[in-house]
Structure 1
Amino acid sequence: MNNVRTVSDTKRAFYTSHTRPINTIYRRVVEELMVEMHLLSVNVDFSYNPIYALGVVTAFERFMQGYQPERDKESIFNALCQAVESDPQRYRQDAERLGLFAKNTSTPELIAWLRGETHKEEVGDLQQQIQAIASNPNFKYSRLFAIGVFGLLELSDPALVKDEKQRVDALKSIAATLNISEDKLNKDLELYRANVDKMEQALATIADILSADRKKRQQQTPDKGIAVTTPDAEDPSQAPGSSQDKASFGS
C-alpha cells in the first residue's frame, strides 16, 4: 500500500491550517515554495539540516516582504511547515541560531567552521548536522539549501555577496567543503537573486501606484463629484497592473 503523501494532500493540509485568502501576487510564491518543500519531504534521500532551514526561512521572508496583512505571515509560514509534517518552530530556531552565528563570524572563519577546522560549543549540534552532509553520498541538494548557503554568506559579510569575484570564490570553497555541485549552486543562486530583484521591483511599482493614487484623491475637490476607487492598502494585489506573475520563487 502506497502511503506517500501527494501534492494535493499537502495543499489540502495547508489550506486547512491557514484559512484566510492569500494576496494574489504572493499566491504563486507560496504555492511554489509549498510544492518544493513537499517534493523534498517525500524524497527518500532528503534529510532536514540547519542550512536548509535557513534557506526556507530566508526565501519565505524575502519573497513575502510587504505582505499585508502582516499578521497573516506567521500563519502562512506555520501552515507551510505543518503541511509537510514539519515543526515550524524548529525551522525558525535553527535558522535564527545559524544566522546569528554567521552574522558574528567572518567569511573565512565561517568556511573553516563548515570544514570542521574550528568548533563553537554554542552551535556544536548544528555543526555536526552540516558536516554529515559532506560525507553523505546520497545527500539531496535543493534550491532551498542553496538559498541557505547564500544566507550564511550574506549574514557573514553583506559586502562580499555584492562582489562577484569574492562571492564566486566563497561559493566555490563552500561547495567543495560540503561536496555539492558548484555549478548547480551558482545557477540556483543566480535565479534566486534575479527573482528577488523582480519581487522588489514589483513592490516598488505597487508602492508608486498607491502613492500616486492617494495624491490624486487628495487633490480632487469634493464638489466635482468624481468617485475615485483606491486599491485596498491591505491588499497590494488590488493595485492596478499587479499580477501574480510579477515574481516567482522558482522561475
Structure 2
Amino acid sequence: MAALTSLSFSAITHCPERKKLTFSSTPFLATSSDFFGLRTHFSNHHVGVRASNSTSNMVVQCLSSVTDAPTVSETKLNFLKAYKRPIPSIYNTVLQELIVQQHLMRYKRSYRYDPVFALGFVTVYDKLMEGYPSDEDRDAIFQAYIKALNEDPQEYRIDARKLEEWARVQNPSSLLEFSSKEGEVEGILKEIAERAAGKGEFSYNRFFAVGLFRLLELANATDPTILDKLCAALNINKRSVDRDLDVYRNLLSKLVQAKELLKEYVDREKKKRDERAEPQKANEAITTCLGEQLPGL
C-alpha cells in the first residue's frame, strides 16, 4: 500500500500488461461490486427481533433508517427519467452499480454530506467517464445521477473544486496542520475530525477515501506516512482507507484496459467499413465516367 500512496491518478490508471477482456458487462459488474461492496457491506434497514407471547413465533421488525426513504428502484428510475438517452454499456454498467451503492449510503441514518466525500465521488465519476463521446452528455448524466439521489449536483462540483484549489497550494506539512489554522476548508476538515471522533454522526465510505487521496495527490504528498498522519488527524481508520484505495486502483486499471480494447474494436470496424466501401466507390466512378464518355448508350 505504500507504493499506492506515492502514485498519481494518471499513474494508477496505466496498465503495463494488457489482459484479454470481453465486452460482456459481467466482468465490470463483478469488479465494481468488489469495490463498492454492494452485496455485503451496506444495508439501509436495521432489523430488530422481539419475542411474541408464543415461544414458537418471532416477530421481525424492519426499521427503516430514514423515514419515507425512496427505494433503490425508485432512485434508479429517477435517473433513467432524467437522462433518457442510451449510455454505452462499458459506462452504464458501472454507473448502475454506483447509484445503487450511493443510494444505500445516502439513506443511512448516519449519512451526512461533506465536501471530501463529494471530491471523492467527483474524482471517481470523472475518471470513469474519461473518453465519453460527448462532454455535454457527460455533464447531463452527472446532473441526472445526483438529482436522482435528491442532492445538488452543483454543490458537489463547487465543493470538489474548492478542495482541489485549496490542496494545490498546500504542501505535505501544511496539509496536516489544518487543525491549527483558520479557513473554510480547514473548518470543513476540523468538523469531519470531530464527527469521526464520535462527537457527531459520521459514516465512512469509499468515496471519502478517494477524496483523501486526491487531496494528497494535489498537495504533492508522495511520502506514504502522510496518509497515515492525515487519517490520524481526521480520526479515520487507515486500514479501511488502504483497502479501499487498493481496490479503486484495480477498478481503474480494468476500466482503462476495457476502454482501450473498445477503441481498438471501433477503429477496426471502421477500417473494415471503409475497405468495403472502396470497391463500391470505384464502380460508381467508372459508371459515371463511362456515362459521360458514351452519352448515347
User: Which category of TM-score, normalised to the shorter sequence, fits these structures?
Assistant: 0.7 to 0.9
Counterpart of 2:87 in 1: which secondary structure?
A: coil
Measure how far apart 1:125 and its partner are.
4.7
Structure 2 distance, partners of 1:102, 1:3, is 38
Measure how far apart 1:97 and its partner are.
0.3
Q: 1:184 is aligned with what amino acid?
A: S
Measure how far apart 1:43 and its partner are.
0.4
TM-score, normalised via structure 2 length: 0.66
Counterpart of 1:68 in 2: which secondary structure?
A: coil
Which residue number corresponds to residue 170 of structure 1? Answer: 226
Measure how far apart 1:59 and its partner are.
0.6
Residues 117 and 16 of structure 1: CA distance in aligned 2, closer, same or farther (over 3 Å): same
Q: Structure 1 residue 9 and structure 2 residue 65: aligned? A: no
Which residue number corresponds to residue 209 of structure 2? Answer: 146
Structure 2 distance, partners of 1:216, 1:108, is 56
Q: 1:174 is aligned with what amino acid?
A: L
Give 1 or 2: higher strand fraction.
Answer: 2
Q: Which has the larger radius of gyration?
A: 2
**CA contact under 8 A between 2:189 and 2:234: conserved in structure 1?**
no
Q: 2:243 is aligned with what amino acid?
A: K
Measure how far apart 1:123 and its partner are.
3.4
Identity %: 33
Q: What stretches of structure 1 of length at least 5 have no aligned partner?
A: 161-165, 226-251
Instruction: Write the mapping of 1:106-125 to structure 2, written as runs, cut at 5 A.
Output: 106-113=171-178, 116-119=179-182, 121=183, 123-125=185-187
- The number of aligned residues is 215
Q: Structure 1 residue 89 and structure 2 residue 154: aligned? A: yes
Measure how far apart 1:224 and its partner are.
7.0
Q: What stretches of structure 2 of length at least 5 have no aligned partner?
A: 1-63, 282-297
Q: Structure 1 residue 134 and structure 2 residue 196: aligned? A: yes
Structure 1 distance, partners of 2:212, 2:110, is 19
RMSD of the alignment, in Å? 2.3
Residues 98 and 221 of structure 1: CA distance in aligned 2, closer, same or farther (over 3 Å): closer
Q: 2:159 is aligned with what amino acid?
A: D
Measure how far apart 1:213 and its partner are.
4.2
Structure 2 distance, partners of 1:78, 1:132, is 31
Q: Structure 1 residue 200 and structure 2 residue 265: aligned? A: no
Structure 1 distance, partners of 2:195, 2:227, is 16
Deviations 1:41-64 (A, max 9, x none): 110111111100101100100111
Counterpart of 2:150 in 1: which secondary structure?
A: coil
Structure 2 distance, partners of 1:22, 1:152, is 30
Instruction: Write the mapping of 1:73-88 to structure 2, written as runs, cut at 5 A.
Output: 73-88=138-153
